[in-house]
Structure 1
Amino acid sequence: MGSAAASAQAAASSALASVKGGLDAKGDVALGSVSIGSDGKAEVQLNVTNHESEANQYTVQVNFTDASGNVLDAVVVNVPEVAAGATAQATAKSNRSLTGTVQAQVASALRY
């Protein structure tokens, strides 16, 4: 992992650690296909479904990886107020330009 990717992963982990009382919600998050914007940055749409009976907020870490699964970049997306039983959409965008085959995975997701 390059130093930029390691730094991004550390920042993402720190952001997740700041969430108090969060519950694992990886199963609530589905990712679309990764695309590369005109600025060279990778982006992917998140669909966050709140299966609970009350509104919740979500904090999601998305790792952008190469075809071998090596982390190229990591970002954290905050999804405010998803109503009970509803689905919200958000976009994760890499911090820097990425090249080659770029994939995305939910590294962690917290519901609170």
Structure 2
Amino acid sequence: MNPTSPLRYALGGRAARNLAPAVLAGVIIAGTAACGDSDTSSQGTARSIRTVSPEPAMTPSASPSSRTQQEFAASVSAATERNRQQAVKLLAGVQGRGNGAGDVSVSGLPVVTSEQFRSALVRVTNPTDKAAFYAVKVEFVDASGKVLDSVVVGFADAPPGRTVSQHANSSKAAGVKTFPRIAQAERG
């Protein structure tokens, strides 16, 4: 038989496929035997696997401490408050609806009678070619048109040609069916 014949390759491949289950069974049995050893000082298979695949030098914690989460929340709250204060200052000198009113939309979120605040989703689409700060004043009005509360939110560095969103929350309009509307929006 010619050593390069397709028949020889087919027989060799078939022989290899027949051998694979036996090799796999041997590996499983060896692994089970290594795991069953209760002596922690032995140099078994598990130890050699660590040598082949070393663990990272620094393993991140599975769950961050609550202090870290609190610090993160405080940092986010501080940044949000700074943006809000900057937005209040920007809107103080605005006459009418502002130059960014066409770039902003708002929609109310479902009301639950037991909620502690009323929330609206404010979206800003920056049509300019550079990042911009947006100051937005959202009013929460009832069915008769009476303004129950107004909230100012700030969008720092709204990217050009993209839409960003943020919630405007009112505790004064909590539990009441209100309709949010944009009172003013200024692009700074």
Q: TM-score, normalised by structure 1?
A: 0.75
C-alpha separation between the residues in 1 aligned to 2:128 and 2:115?
A: 37
- 1:17 aligns to 2:89 (yes or no): no
**Structure number with higher relative contact order (C-alpha < 8 Å, ≥ 6 residues apart):** 1
User: Identity over the aligned pairs, expressed in percent?
Assistant: 33
Q: Which of 107, 132, 139 matches 1:32? A: 107
- 1:88 aligns to 2:141 (yes or no): no
Q: Which runs of 5+ in 1 are unaligned?
A: 1-11
Partner of 2:179: 103
Q: How many positions carry a matched residue from both structures? A: 97
Q: Which runs of 5+ in 2 are unaligned?
A: 1-84
> What is the CA deviation profile of residues 2-53 of structure 1, one whole-angstrom value per residue up to 9, with x for unaligned ones?
xxxxxxxxxx9x922168xxx5111111112233465431001111000111
Q: Kindly state the Cα deviation for residue 97 of structure 1 after the two structures are TM-superposed.
A: 4.6
C-alpha separation between the residues in 2 aligned to 1:91 and 1:30?
A: 12
C-alpha separation between the residues in 2 aligned to 1:98 and 1:66?
A: 11
C-alpha separation between the residues in 2 aligned to 1:25 and 1:91?
A: 18
Q: Which of 53, 56, 71 matches 2:129? A: 53
Runs of 4+ in 1 over 4 A off after TM superposition: none
Q: Which of 120, 131, 151 matches 1:44? A: 120
1:57 partner amino acid? F
C-alpha separation between the residues in 1 aligned to 2:177 and 2:111?
A: 10
Q: CA RMSD in A?
A: 2.4
Structure 1 or 2, whichever has the larger Rg, is 2
C-alpha separation between the residues in 2 aligned to 1:110 and 1:72?
A: 22
C-alpha separation between the residues in 1 aligned to 2:135 and 2:146?
A: 22
Q: Kindly state the Cα deviation for residue 68 of structure 1 after the two structures are TM-superposed.
A: 1.2
Tell me, yes or no, if the aligned pair for 1:34 and 1:103 is still in contact at 8 Å. no
- 1:66 aligns to 2:148 (yes or no): no
